Structure 1
Amino acid sequence: MKKLLQNLKRPNSGRSYIPFVDGIRFVAILPVVILHANERFLRYVYGEENLTGLNEQLNYLISRGAIGVMIFFALSGFVLALPFAKSGYTFSYKKYFTRRLERLEPPYIFWMSLFAIIFIIKSGMGVGEMAGHYFSSIFYVHNIVYAEFPVINPVAWSLEVEIQYYIIAPFLAILYFNQKDLSFRRIFLAALIILFIVFQHVFGFQYQPFRASILGQLQHFLVGLLAADLFVHSKNWVNKKAYLYDILGVATIIMMMFTWTDDLEKALLFSTALMGFFISTLKGKIVPQILSYKWIPVIGGMCYTIYLTHLPLLELIYSLIDRIGYSTTYFSGLTISLIITLPIILLSSIIFYTVIERPFMKKDGFQQILEKIKSRISKRLVKTEQ
């Protein structure tokens, strides 16, 4: 088991590893998977129209799993800001973006291509029509072109938002950390988050299609930027751990669940709670330990693969359950189905992650793989010539 854990850990990419960051990824991906499993269970098996009473309340609580995506956004803001927060960092926009493309694009193109083929076979959509959706998704502009979630893999909408932030993140971070007065820049950023949320609601950017763009999500990334500042430049404060912050972590997750709406007041509370959650991961006594415990950061480290593949897998599993037949209550049926589906998703993700994603996570991984491919091709050419 220890060897398996070691083999699945995030490979050395030349940067210091922070386990609780992958632990946060675990916290973000789990409710998203359960949310989508519940949606498929209702669609294919139970029927949302059959929900009543407590079952409706349970369904509502599970639907709050969407907050995991906002946690991902904030975490991206946190991670992307860290190098800029440290003194002596030399920035190259070319290296910055090339590294992200080499790390993220190969798995993304592989899965989107595979799912596009499956979608054509399953739906009967013409190749020409699919080509528009496919290339719009590959270049992260599907929401801009079609004003709707990607048809190939709907969850890819958030990756389009991530790319939009990747483009502007270095400039925001440089401007922010160039201001040396800690108190001023933090107060300014907090005020900017509030003003942006107000601006967002004045112009209706909290609704589709703007919701699925940086205009609908920027505040969450900025929360991560602020958290990165605290993590790097307030070490003495961060190192003073307290159980109170563990309670804060639980309270803020509950608060996020009930403030994730389109209302202005709740949107302001949501960002406040999101910041509180990140503070709990920095200053809690128990929360950081849980987030760094064995399998939690390992599974969190596989979140990109899990995120890309879980929805098509859930579609397949629950459509099969529908064919087999079903007769039980909502709660027991959903529970049994999760006991079946979650291990399948985890095991398949371990395989997919190991084979497809992990090689590109290594430092110069993309170049190493290219060299291996070139070497194999040249060897085959030599054999054919002989």
Structure 2
Amino acid sequence: MFERVVSNLGRLIGTIPALYRRPKDDTKYNPQIDGLRCLAVASVLLWHGGLRMVRHGDWIDPTGRNTGSLYRFLPHGEIGVVLFFMISGLIIAKPFLSQPDRRIILGKFYYRRIHRIYPPYIIALVLFSIPVFLDFVHANHAWVISPTESFLASLFYVHGIVWNASSMFIPPLWSLEVEVQFYLLFPLMMWIYRAMGPSRIAATMAAMVLYVAALGYVHSVFPFDGRFRYGVLAHLPYFVMGIVVADLVQTYGHAMRTSPRRFDLVFAVGIVLFLLVGLAFTRVNAEARQAVPYSGLEAAAIVACALVMLGAMYGGRCRRIFANSWICLTGTMCYSIYLVHVPLMEAIERLVLRHLPLASVVPWWAVDAMILFPSVWVAGLAYYILVERPFMNRETRPAPVVPAGGAPVEGAPALRVSGPTA
């Protein structure tokens, strides 16, 4: 009887990836992209979970001798955010590079972005602000603004720009603010990129080298300012490189598919560099003060993520790994995981783990890992099913084609770009 129950439960769990995979829309699904999202969110989870494990260990060992040794081996979550930004550039640009002489319908483009990301965002923001407003959770004493001011700024994606800090309720929301700023710039960026002609990849790469060098100079000369740190200008090269990768896929994808072993090697080199850059970010807290180290780390992060992306999409073994149904499901629901993971980790640490009768640091780390990460994954799945998934783009009819020289549909303004209307 017990064996039958276990067997039935196993079969039920095994159906989850198929039941809740990414809903179909009018674009071709590439499972490796969701696999890359899984890698990105796993990097962020490892970082934020590891920080809480370090702090948890400090409660036991105030000297920090043991916890400090763990911290040095945590790749900074910034490298996962870099990968997220590059994936965004790739995904949004790819349809508009696949077919020439079509237009972005601005109203439809922004409606789809808002419909996709804003409802889950605002629901999470409201849920996790309630304990602060009810004073169940006290705001950090270092804050110089009120919860109401933080909530309103977070509501409109301007917290970093207005208050020079991340959100009081869900700190990782700063990266979503950067993402939204990229959406605002994307139509103009796509128009400029298309206007550069056949040499656009080489010209863009050269411009990025100069831009990254300029970022290092600005960062070394002027004091750290969150308005720069939490703005799109500091992260623009990542999105641009995502667009370049999309162009490489569109232009050379057929040729790259013929060398799967070579791209497995590309991925291996990329993932090693990915981890090394993450560790380097940890040593400087993702903000090297001197110009050369800052620009060097920025460039290394771009190269690492580009190699990882190409290897995952065109490597033989890598393609199979990144297309695994559970990995793809985790990548599909990465937005939900990203929204809920920090408040949930904080709650588990303070309400549960801190009170467990363990007196040694190493068992604390083990218990933290076994409780924190599965709990976040399950909570992310629940939020994805109940909140995020209903707002994801469902299967639709292909978007209408606007012929070259034709008037845009629905009376909306349009920009001539490559790709289907969106």
Shorter-chain TM-score range: 0.7 to 0.9
Where do residues 175-190 of structure 1 align in structure 2 (5 Å cutoff)? 175-181=192-198, 184-190=199-205
Question: Aligned to 1:228, which of 246, 266, 269?
Answer: 246
Match for residue 109 of structure 2? 96
Which of 339, 351, 361 is matched with 1:329 structurally?
Answer: 361
Amino acid at match of 2:194: F
Give the partner amino acid of 2:167.
P
Which letter maps to 2:166? F
Residue correspondences, number? 360
C-alpha spacing 1:323/1:129, structure 2 compared with 1 (3 Å) = same
Match of 2:181 among 164, 176, 181: 164
State the partner residue of 2:267: 249
Q: Which residue of 2 aligns with 1:105?
A: 118
Deviation at 1:267, TM superposition (A): 2.4
Q: 1:161·1:213 contact (CA, 8 Å) conserved in 2?
A: yes
For residues 222 and 269 of structure 1, what CA distance do their matches in structure 2 show? 15
Q: What does residue 53 of structure 2 align with? A: 41
Matching residue's letter, 1:303: C
Measured against aligned partners, the alpha-carbon deviations of 1:13-42 in whole angstroms (never above 9, x if no partner) come to 222211111100000001211211111122
In the alignment, the residues of structure 1 paired with residue 209 and residue 185 of structure 2 have an alpha-carbon distance, to the nearest angstrom, of 19
Q: Give yes or no for the alignment of 1:299 onto 2:330.
A: yes
Q: Deviations over 1:145-180 (max 9, x none)?
A: 100111111010100010011111122123213444
> Residues of 2 paired with 1:26 and 1:50: CA distance?
35
What is the SS of the residue equivalent to 1:91? strand
**Counterparts of 1:123 and 1:317, CA distance in 2:** 13
Alignment of 1:25-36 (within 5 A): 25-36=37-48
Indicate yes or no: 2:86 matched with 1:74: yes
Q: Does 1:83 align with 2:67?
A: no
CA contact (8 A) 2:21 2:329 kept: yes
Partner residue, 2:36? 24
Matches of 1:312 and 1:274, distance apart in 2: 28
Q: Which moved more, 1:277-286 or 1:159-168?
A: 277-286
Q: Which residue, 287, 291, 300 being the options, matches 1:269?
A: 300
2:374 alignment partner AA = P
Equivalent of 2:385 in 345, 351, 354: 354
Task: Give the secondary structure class of the aligned counterpart of 1:90.
Answer: strand
Q: Is 1:118 the counterpart of 2:163 in the alignment?
A: no
Q: Structure 1 pair 211/79, CA: closer, same or farther in 2 (3 Å)?
A: same
Contact residue 37 and residue 332 of structure 2 kept, 8 A: yes
Which ranges of structure 1 fall in alignment gaps of 5 or more residues?
A: 366-386
* Residue of structure 2 in register with 1:384 after alignment: none
| Structure 1 position 116, deviation (Å) | 1.1
Distance in 1, Cα, partners of 2:320 & 2:259 = 11
For 1:307 and 1:193, locate their aligned partners in 2 and report how far apart those are by CA, in whole Å: 28
Structure 1's 57 and 243: CA in aligned 2 closer, same or farther, altered over 3 A? farther
* Alpha-carbon distance in 1 for matches of 2:176, 2:91: 15
Structure 1 residue corresponding to 2:167, chosen from 123, 128, 150: 150
AA at the equivalent of 1:234: Y
Q: Is the CA contact 2:82–2:302 (under 8 Å) kept in the aligned structure 1?
A: no
Contact 2:147–2:168 (8 Å) recurs in 1: no
Distance across 1 between alignment mates of 2:320 and 2:196: 33
Q: Which moved more, 1:154-163 or 1:58-67?
A: 58-67
The counterpart of 2:234, out of the listed 216, 219, 224, is: 216
Q: 1:60 to 1:98 in 2, by over 3 A?
A: same
How far apart are 1:336 and its partner, in Å? 2.7
Q: 1:212-255 CA deviation, whole Å, 9 max, x = no partner?
A: 21121111111111110011121222212332322332322332
What 5-or-longer segments of structure 2 have no aligned partner? 1-12, 397-422
Q: 1:104 to 1:301 in 2, by over 3 A?
A: same
Alpha-carbon distance in structure 2 between the residues aligned to 1:349 and 1:273: 27
Distance 1:289 1:188 in 2: 34
For the residues of structure 1 that align with 2:106 and 2:337, how far apart are their CA atoms?
Answer: 29
Aligned match of 1:313? 344
2: distance between equivalents of 1:28 and 1:360? 22
Following the alignment from structure 1 to structure 2, what is the Cα–Cα distance between the partners of residues 239 and 152? 44
